[in-house]
Amino acid sequence: MKRELKIRIDNIPDIEERLFQLGAIKGKSAMYRYVYFNQPDGEVLKITKKPEGTFKTIIRARAGKFDIISSDRVDNEKQLLQELTTKFGIKKELVNQRLFFTLGEDKLSLNNIREVGRFLIVEGKNPSMEVIVRLGIKNPEIITKSFDDL
């Protein structure tokens, strides 16, 4: 199971340069569109549309990080959207411009989410604050809520 550590950042180009200085390898850039559905606190159910396809994702908050419970490809997006909207109701729709990196065993992304802010996400088996410290981010604001709650 993958986990996420989310940090609010001010300046994407600055963090990108610092990632390069640490030896990060730049990957693709992509636009993601999310539809979040009403769920209990600490639980996230969303449909993500990205270049690779559409995915239904379930995430749970745990100990200041997020466990990705499942992320399954969706064949019939319209049908699933209608079913989940009827069952739970749409909570929020967001658009995120993402830039991906690999640093050691961690996958990182710089995220610019319209009307929410800019974030660094570290994904891995157990992402730690080590990379945040190495990037020189002082007094990092760790995000412990889903983006649809910000």
- In which band, very low, low, confident or very high, does the pLDDT at 125 lie, cut at 50, 70 and 90? confident
pLDDT over threshold 80, residue 35: yes
Q: What is the pLDDT of residue 127?
A: 86
Annotated domain spans of the chain: 3-149
Q: What is the mean pLDDT of residues 54-81?
A: 93
Provide the whole-model pTM. Answer: 0.89
Q: What is the mean pLDDT of residues 26-51?
A: 96
DSSP per-residue letters across the chain: --EEEEEEES-HHHHHHHHHHTT-EEEEEEEEEEEEE---TTEEEEEEEETTEEEEEEEEEETTEEEEEEEEE-S-HHHHHHHHHHHH-EEEEEEEEEEEEEETTEEEEEEEETTTEEEEEEEESS--THHHHHTT--S-EEE-S-GGG-
For 3-149, which CATH class?
mainly beta
